Amino acid sequence: MTGEQPDWPSCGLEGCSGVRLPTTSLCLAHASEQAPDAFDAELRRVSAESTVDARGVVVSAELLGRLMAAVAAEDHRPAFKVALFDQATFESEVELGEATFEGIAGFDHATFKRTFRNLDQGDRACASAVPGSRL
């Protein structure tokens, strides 16, 4: 991935290719550390629209948990309308078995550092997300 320009406006921090949030020059991961207001605003937007754009973002367990919680439906199952995780890096074990994807789900070139678990077999939205797959 190094040397490859992402095709989205990226985080202002050097070496980070996470997609930048609308309200700050930082990506989700860095906004959570450095721009909590922008991060909270984005979480509210995610919650309202059930769409997540975390392309290129390094997704920690905590960040993933907050995103999943933000899109949780009444039955507490996360329901994404759009989930863009292209080239994202998942630092933790990913459990998407509970999650549903109503629309677009992108995991192109996503990196899974630990186990990928999808308990919901036959979910084709997740089928391309192979453990450890990367380019």
Strands 94-95 and 79-84: unpaired
Number of Cβ within a 10 Å radius of residue 114: 13
- Helix axes of 36-49 and 61-70: crossing angle, nearest 10 degrees: 40
**Residue placing its CB nearer to Zn ion in the complex, 17 or 50:** 17
Shortest separation between residue 1's beta carbon and Zn ion, angstroms: 14
Type of residue at 70 = A
- Taking CB under 5 A as the binding criterion, the range among 21-29, 39-47, 62-70, 100-108 that sits at the site for Zn ion is 21-29
Residue 56 within binding range of Zn ion, rule CB under 5 A = no
Shortest separation between residue 33's beta carbon and Zn ion, angstroms: 9
Each residue 24-43 as x (binds Zn ion by CB under 5 A) or -, in order, gives ---x--x-------------
Residue 16 within binding range of Zn ion, rule CB under 5 A = yes
Shortest separation between residue 27's beta carbon and Zn ion, angstroms: 3
Tally the C-alpha atoms within 13 A of residue 104's C-alpha that lie toward its C-beta: 9
How far, in Å, CA of 46 to CA of 118, rounded?
22
How many residues does this entry show for the chain? 135
Residue 21 within binding range of Zn ion, rule CB under 5 A = no
- Residues forming contacts to Zn ion in the complex (CB under 5 A) are 11, 13, 16, 18, 27, 30
